[in-house]
Amino acid sequence: MSPRIRAARAANSRRFVAAPIVALLAVVIFLLAAFPFRVYPAAEDKPAFVMEEYCSTFAWAPDNRIAIGVYRVYNHKKYTLEGDDLWIASPDGKRTRIIEGAKLVKVDKPQSFKINEISWSPDSQKLAIYKTTYSLAGDKDTLTSGDLTELLDTAGREITIQGVKENPLVGGYQATWLADGSTVAFLTEVVKPREFVEIHTVNVTTGQSQKLFDPHQFISVVWDAAHNRAIAIERDKGMSGPAKLVSLDLLHGTRKEIADLESAQGQLTISPSGKRVAFFYDGDVLEVRDLAAPSKFIHVRVGLGKYEWAPDERHILLKRGPESRSGNLMWVSIPDGNFTTAMNDLVYRDFHYSPDGRFIGLLRVTRNLAIYQSSSFSP
């Protein structure tokens, strides 16, 4: 769970549902005491840009701009609420706040929220924002929550779905704009906690929405939005037969089987060139397959954790342990599986490569965001 718990506080009752500032200070003091290391890299590894504010999450656009959720506390009538402002920055440090967090609240009742994920359209002109909202139920101090995805342009204006009475993106997550500029693909949960998911699309111009590939369900999906497709690990509803690696045409709703899989546990990724995929197999083993020769594969024992492909596609960058916790980063070579310390062996909360591999964003334990040339940390 995030160290920040967003919630509403009833001012007239003096009863806190959450105390964000106190909790934040306590977490920072704990982290500084528990991890007696340098927070900043060495002087020769000076970042191109640092966002000093407390950042919730960030995402790279295809044109190398960065969308950043920045934590804020704000007032609404008699309530003190928590949310995230949305900023867009470039790697040289130029930045613009495109929306204040309070304006993302669309209801009259007090509501706090957290931006969980941000994704960009292939043309870098639109955003999909997945957030969790927290509201007080009625006159009671009972907290309720819900998930939804909202669509915005880069000026912070909401993109409405035409001709619909109810938002089909309520409950949807991991949304992406496709290359046609009007279709959004997203996932919905079938078995909690996201053990099995379904794929849906909605066209914002016509309002037409549909569930794709029924009766198939998926344990992991990675988008290739620029080509209107996804690669996924599939299971049917009856859980009969092996898992399958499949390629999915998201505009036409067609699927192509790539390979049967002996075992698969998710965290599917696609390499920067789009030629290889990887996923966890048998606990802490990463399986890598070439999409041009999918019957051939290699296994690399890496340990469970969050990982991304390095630009050279001969390494992955791995943060071992639970995704929600900070950890140090390691290069893992493919296929021999050698480990090398990365990023000066410092501890980070999260990281993402830019789509072209030129930059890497590092979310520090103090939640400020540092942007580096990726060549500064070559494996």
Q: Which two tokens stand for residue 80?
A: 């003190």
**What are the pLDDT digits (tens) for 57-68?**
999 999 999 999
DSSP-H helix ranges across the chain: 20-34
Query: Does residue 24 carry a pLDDT above 60?
Result: no
The residue-averaged pLDDT of 314-318 equals: 96
- DSSP labels for 349-377? EEEEE-TTSSEEEEEETTS-EEEEEGGGG
**Comparing 13-17, 247-251, 296-300, 321-325, which segment has the lowest mean pLDDT?**
13-17
Q: What is the pLDDT of residue 376?
A: 84
**Beta strand segments in 106-238, E:** 111-120, 126-136, 143-153, 173-177, 183-191, 196-203, 209-212, 216-224, 229-236
Amino acid letter, residue 51: M
Q: What is the pLDDT of residue 140?
A: 62
Contacts (Cβ under 8 Å, ≥6 apart) of 296: 289, 290
CA distance 95 to 298: 42
Q: Are 361 and 51 in contact (CB under 8 A)?
A: no
Q: What is the pLDDT of residue 79?
A: 79
Q: What is the pLDDT of residue 107?
A: 67
Q: Are 161 and 204 in contact (CB under 8 A)?
A: yes
Q: What are phi and psi of 37, to 5 degrees?
A: -130, 170
The residue-averaged pLDDT of 169-188 equals: 96
Amino acid letter, residue 48: A
- Cα dihedral 111, 116, 122, 127, rounded to 10, equals 10
Query: Does residue 313 carry a pLDDT above 80?
Result: yes
**What are the pLDDT digits (tens) for 35-75?**
333 333 443 378 999 999 999 999 999 999 999 999 999 88
Of all residues in the chain, the percent with pLDDT exceeding 70 is 85
**What are the pLDDT digits (tens) for 1-19?**
333 333 443 333 322 233 3
Contacts (Cβ under 8 Å, ≥6 apart) of 263: 243, 281, 282
CA distance 173 to 214: 18
CA distance 76 to 111: 9
Query: Does residue 314 carry a pLDDT above 90?
Result: yes
Distance from chain centroid for Cα 351: 10
Q: How far lies 371's CA from each of 6, 45, 357, in Å?
A: 27, 11, 12
The residue-averaged pLDDT of 192-221 equals: 91
**What are the pLDDT digits (tens) for 244-277?**
999 999 999 999 999 999 888 889 999 999 999 9
- Average pLDDT value for the chain: 85
Q: What is the pLDDT of residue 365?
A: 93
